């Protein structure tokens, strides 16, 4: 079964009209800090919006999300949609294990254009999604490839590939970027063109879930406001690849987040612990509204971020 490319109409996004979610719950299932279950270098979260359940990313090691969900007594049965924010193994590593554990679930994987591009390395193919795709589709799964913003449930949006208007290089800090083969077969710097986030529209503003934010957190939030609704960013949750950012970049980022009206920030995975604390101070947030995310923590629209005991 070949991946379907959805050429989503953007009229609804441009109009700013549409459904606003009333109940949003996000539970982190994979990241480094943990109050319960296993910590790892990876990210995954269960996203629940008005009763609709979605798995965002699948962690790094094959068993981590499965074991953590079971320990937290979270049953993933019946979830149809899984979102893979980009090709890296610390976000895609659990997909096939979860599909095997829940054979009637997680059969529809949403990805952005570019995720299946070859990443040649001296050791061989560097994109794990090429091999994962074959197994997933052979087992009856379907990939839906997005090349622009798309509403996948009432009030729940995928950004598709994100415009890089600000010079954020959040894919290459601390070692440079690799190479990829473009759709035309040319070699180019791998800036993770498929990096995609989830955006939930609520009456309080936009809630954004990110895997690594390789497109740049400011680029991502600006793009969400442009394409979905020009509203304050009520909350940003997940990985934002700031762990190795220089002081001047963190200062610029914090100023931009303040401009965007960021109300709450739960930085997990590659955001970096020190980066979260710096942003807390410079963006005018508090311990209650800005913290490090841990396994078992998350966010509730009704009462804000839930960092877990260790991340407070």
pLDDT digits (tens, 9 = 90+) for 100-114: 999 999 999 999 999
Confidence of residue 15 (pLDDT cuts 50, 70, 90): very low
Rounded mean pLDDT, 135-148: 98
Q: Residues 199, 228: contact at Cβ < 8 Å?
A: yes
User: For residue 114, how far is the Cα from the chain centroid?
Assistant: 16
Q: In this predicted structure, what is the pLDDT of residue 36?
A: 87
Q: Exposure string (b/e) for 151-169, b if CB count within 10 Å is 16 or more?
A: bbbebbbbbbbbebeeebb
State the pLDDT confidence band at 172, using cuts at 50, 70 and 90.
confident
Alpha-carbon distance 256 to 279, whole Å? 10
194 pLDDT above the threshold of 90: yes
Average pLDDT over residues 110-122: 97
Per the model's pLDDT, the better-predicted residue between 178 and 204 turns out to be 204
Mean pLDDT of 196-221: 98
Residue 4 pLDDT exceeds 60: no
Confidence band of 176 (pLDDT split at 50, 70, 90): low
Q: What is the pLDDT of residue 16?
A: 43
85: pLDDT strictly greater than 80: yes
What local confidence, expressed as pLDDT, does residue 11 receive? 36
| Mean pLDDT computed over 235-256 | 97
In the beta sheet, which residues pair with residue 149? none
CATH no. for 4-8+20-311: 3.60.15.10
> Which residue, chain included where needed, has tokens 């629209």?
301
- Please report, rounded to a whole number, the percentage of residues in the chain having pLDDT higher than 70: 93
Q: What is the model's pTM?
A: 0.94
Tokens of 157: 């949006």
> DSSP E strands: which ranges in the chain?
4-6, 24-30, 44-49, 52-56, 81-83, 108-112, 120-121, 124-125, 142-146, 150-153, 156-158, 179-181, 187-189, 198-202, 205-210, 233-239, 264-268, 290-292, 298-300, 304-306
Contacts of residue 11, defined as CB under 8 A and 6 or more positions apart, other chains included, come to: none
Question: Is the pLDDT score of 205 beyond 90?
Answer: yes
Average pLDDT, the chain: 93
**251 pLDDT higher than 60:** yes
Neighbours of 89 (CB within 10 A): 18
Least-confidence region, from 5-19, 35-49, 152-166, 243-257: 5-19
C-alpha pair distances (Å), 103 with each of 85, 139, 140, 172: 22, 9, 9, 36
pLDDT confidence of residue 173: 57
User: Residue 162: is its pLDDT beyond 50?
Assistant: yes
Identify the pLDDT of residue 222.
98
Residue 267, pLDDT above cutoff 70: yes
Among residues of the chain, what percentage have pLDDT more than 90?
A: 88
Q: Is residue 7 very low, low, confident or very high in pLDDT (cuts 50, 70, 90)?
A: very low
Residue-level pLDDT at 35: 87
Distance CA 184, CA 291 (A): 43
């Amino acid at each position: 079964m070949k991946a379907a490319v959805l050429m989503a109409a953007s009229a609804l996004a441009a109009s700013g009209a549409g459904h606003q979610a009333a109940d949003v719950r996000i539970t982190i299932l994979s990241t480094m800090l943990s109050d319960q279950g296993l910590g790892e270098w990876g990210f995954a979260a269960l996203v629940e919006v008005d009763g609709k359940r979605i798995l965002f990313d699948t962690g790094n090691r094959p068993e981590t999300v499965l074991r953590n969900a079971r320990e937290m007594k979270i049953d993933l049965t019946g979830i149809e949609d899984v979102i893979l924010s980009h090709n890296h193994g610390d976000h895609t590593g659990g997909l096939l294990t979860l599909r095997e554990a829940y054979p009637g679930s997680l059969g529809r994987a949403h990805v952005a254009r570019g995720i299946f591009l070859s990443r040649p390395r001296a050791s061989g193919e560097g994109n794990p999604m090429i091999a994962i795709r074959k197994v997933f589709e052979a087992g009856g799964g379907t990939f839906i490839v997005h090349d622009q913003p798309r509403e996948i449930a009432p009030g729940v949006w995928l950004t598709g590939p994100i415009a890089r208007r600000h010079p954020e290089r959040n894919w290459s800090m601390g070692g440079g970027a690799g190479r990829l083969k473009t759709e035309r077969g040319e070699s180019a710097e791998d800036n993770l063109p498929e990096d995609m986030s989830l955006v939930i529209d609520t009456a309080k503003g936009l809630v954004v879930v990110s895997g690594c934010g390789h497109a740049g957190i400011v680029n991502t939030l600006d793009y969400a406001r442009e394409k979905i609704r020009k509203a304050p960013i009520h909350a940003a949750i997940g990985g934002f690849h700031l762990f190795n950012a220089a002081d001047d970049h963190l200062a610029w980022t914090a100023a931009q987040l303040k401009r965007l009206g960021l109300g709450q920030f739960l930085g997990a995975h590659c955001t970096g612990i020190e980066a979260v604390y710096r942003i807390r101070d410079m963006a005018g947030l508090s311990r209650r509204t800005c913290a490090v995310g841990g396994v078992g923590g998350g966010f509730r629209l009704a009462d804000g971020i839930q960092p877990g005991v260790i991340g407070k």
